[in-house]
Amino acid sequence: MHRTFNVSIRAAMLLSLAALFLFSLIFSFSLPMTAQAQDPTATPNDPFWRAYSAARDAIEEKFSVDLTQVQSYEWSQAEFVTGIDSCVDLDDPNTGRPVYFGWVFTLTSFRNQTYQARVSYDIQDVAACDHVDEASAPAAPAAPDGSLPP
C-alpha cells in the first residue's frame, strides 16, 4: 500500500506539472506580443540626433538622394562667420540668415558622394550646402611621429 501511495502521488504531481505547463503555454500565446510588435525608435529628444536627422533630411530633399544609410559621417561645431547660408549659392547674398553658430555635418554616401549641411544649435535653421567646405570638415589624422613607439 505504501508503494502504491507513492506512485499515485508522483503521478498526480506529474499530471499537475503537465497541466501547469500546458496552461502557461496557452496563456503565453494568447497574449498580444506588444514588445515584439513595436518598431525600434531613435532618441528623438537628443539634440545631436535631431540635428543629424534635420541635416540628412535637408540634403535628401535638395539633392534627391537616399541617405538612410551612409558610408560615413563627420560632424563638428563651427562658427559661421558670414552666416549659416554662406555655403549655399544664393541669388541675393543679403537674404542669408543671421545664424552664426551650429553644427556642420559631412555625409558620405555609398556612392562616394560627399554632402554637407549646417544646422543651428536650436535646430530651427538648416542649410544643405551646394559645395563642401573643406575648412569646416574635420582634418585628416596627422602622420605618426617616428620618435614615438607604435
Instruction: Quick: pLDDT tens for 90-133.
Output: 888 888 899 999 999 999 999 999 999 999 999 999 999 999 97
Bridge partner residues of 76 (DSSP): 104
Q: How far apart are CA 89 and CA 12, in angstroms?
A: 84
What's residue 92's pLDDT? 86
Mean pLDDT of the 15-30 span: 79
Task: Read off φ and ψ for residue 21, nearest 5 degrees.
Answer: -60, -45
Mean pLDDT of the 24-35 span: 67
Average pLDDT across the chain, whole number: 83
Confirm if 138 and 74 have CB atoms less than 8 A apart.
yes
pTM for the model:
0.62
What's residue 53's pLDDT? 94
Residue 63 has pLDDT above 90, yes or no: yes
What's residue 58's pLDDT? 97
Residue 37 has pLDDT above 90, yes or no: no
Bridge partner residues of 72 (DSSP): 108
For residue 78, CA distances in Å to 32, 45, 49, 101 come to 49, 22, 17, 6
The three three-digit cell numbers of residue 84, written as one number: 549659416
Length of the chain as a residue count: 150
